[in-house]
Amino acid sequence: MNKKMMNVPNALTVFRILAVPFIIALLYFPNPTTCLLATVFFLIAILTDLADGFWARKYNQVTNFGKFLDPLADKILIASVLIMLVELNWIPAWIAIVVIVRELLVTGLRAIAADKGQVIAADKYGKMKTIMQSVALVPLIYHYPFFGIDTAQLGFLLLLVAVVLTLYSGWNYLFGFYRIWGD
């Protein structure tokens, strides 16, 4: 990998992917300590998502590799955590299925549009969806009461809001694709 491709933003993105096995391993034996550590790793991973984009734009280090890997890292992180939460019976499988199918569908639609020379840009609802998924997963990963707060219930309620945003933003992408396809 050449130096231009492995700049600071791309290294942060790679770190986000590398954090996934640690998060999953910590959740594999859930207790307050491992879940707290998994939550910390998840928060760091989410913060790298904010930092890599900021750094890339500010220091003119945007690369095609980063454009490809950054959204992929987000999908790997979110999907992996959702699947693990299903495995732990902390969330119902249908939620993970909705989120993952939406991600696959939108990624596929964007690829088809790109093949036609069109771009279906990220919209504010897609960004809100990602933020809400991340916010919801923090208390879900921790899962244990925190200063009297039922984090599992709080996280689940936030995740339901994230699912609504996931479906709505998916619909927007589908509509955007339909406009391109109909031409």
Residue 17 pLDDT class (50, 70, 90 cuts): very high
Q: Which residue has the higher pLDDT, 121 or 165?
A: 165
3-state secondary structure of 175: helix
- CATH ID of 8-181, from 1.10.12.10, 1.20.120.1760, 3.40.50.970, 3.20.20.140: 1.20.120.1760
Q: The pTM is what?
A: 0.90
Angstrom CA distances, 143 to 4, 32, 152, stand at 40, 8, 5
Nearest to 138 by CA among 56, 60, 40: 40
Residue 120 has pLDDT above 80, yes or no: no
**Helices and strands: H and E segment counts in the chain:** 6, 0
Using one digit for the tens of pLDDT, what is the confidence trace for 19-49?
999 999 999 999 999 999 999 999 999 999 8
CB 19 within 8 A of CB 41: yes
Residue 182 pLDDT class (50, 70, 90 cuts): low
